[in-house]
Amino acid sequence: MAMAEVMGKQRLEEENRAYRSTGGVSENNRCLGFRPAFKDAETGTVYPSLNASGAPCPFHCLDGLPPEVVTERSESGHVTCVKTSLEAGFERQGEFFTRAQAADLVARGE
C-alpha cells in the first residue's frame, strides 16, 4: 500500500484480508512472539497496539495510539484516522517488523 494512503480502520481491514493466510496477521504469528504495533516512518517511534484503556490489544487497534499521531476521532471518541506515516506491523524482542517481514519469518518458522 502507498505510504500516503490514510491509515484507518478500513486500511487495517484491507491489510488483514491481504495477509489473511500468512504470518502478516496476529492470529498467525502470535505463537512466535509477535505483538501488533505501529511504526511512525517520520520519527521511527514504535507504538504497541493498545485498546482505549491502554491495555495491550491482541490485534491492531487505533484507539490506544497517542494524541500526537491521531488526526481524526469519531463523535464517540474512537480514532478514525492517524498520520499517514504510520504503518501497521509487529514488534518482537524490541524490533519492528512490517506485515510482509513477519509473514516471511513465520513462513520460514522463525
- Tell me the one-letter amino acid at 11: R
- pLDDT score, position 66: 97
Percent of the chain clearing pLDDT 70 (strictly above): 95
Q: Containing domain of residue 25, as a range?
A: 7-107
Q: Is residue 1 part of a domain?
A: no
Q: Please provide the average confidence, as pLDDT, over all residues in the chain.
A: 93
Alpha helix ranges (H) inside 32-109: 99-107
| Mean local confidence (pLDDT), 60-84 | 95
- pLDDT score, position 55: 97
Q: Is residue 16 part of a domain?
A: yes
Q: How many domains does the chain have?
A: 1
- pLDDT score, position 1: 39
Q: Is residue 2 part of a domain?
A: no
Tens digits of residue pLDDT in 23-67: 999 999 999 999 999 999 999 999 999 999 999 999 999 999 999
- pLDDT score, position 101: 98
Contact 92, 104 (CB under 8 A): no
Q: Is residue 91 part of a domain?
A: yes
Q: Is residue 61 part of a domain?
A: yes
CA 32, CA 55: separation in Å to the nearest integer?
21
pTM: 0.91
- Cell 494512503, located at residue: 5
Q: Which helix (H) or strand (E) holds 29?
A: helix 26-29
